[in-house]
């Protein structure tokens, strides 16, 4: 079982394996803390969740995804 992250983190680095990115992420302890929202992090390399304010940064190589 993967380690669950706290939703209290305000900066999270993600990789292409996390795409399409949504917040909260499934491995967060409080995965249902707010409605799921998909974030277009692949467009600019960064995205901010409008609900909780968590900033996501895309790191590493980015391939094609659906």
CA distance linking residue 46 with residue 2, whole number of Å: 24
How high is the pLDDT of residue 63? 66
Q: pLDDT by residue for the chain (66 residues), tens digit each?
A: 445 455 556 899 999 999 999 999 988 877 778 999 999 999 999 999 999 999 999 998 776 555
Whole-model pTM?
A: 0.76
How high is the pLDDT of residue 28? 80
Listed in sequence order, the residues at least 6 apart from 26 whose beta carbon sits closer than 8 Å to its beta carbon are: none
CA distance linking residue 13 with residue 3, whole number of Å: 15
For the chain, domain boundaries? 9-27+35-51
Chain-centre distance for alpha carbon 60: 14
């Amino acid at each position: 079982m993967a380690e669950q992250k706290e939703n209290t983190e305000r900066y999270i680095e993600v990789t292409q394996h996390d795409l399409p990115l949504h917040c909260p992420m499934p491995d967060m302890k409080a995965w249902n803390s707010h409605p799921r929202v998909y974030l277009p992090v692949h467009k600019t390399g960064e995205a901010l969740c409008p609900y909780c304010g968590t900033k996501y940064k895309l790191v590493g190589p980015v391939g094609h995804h659906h």
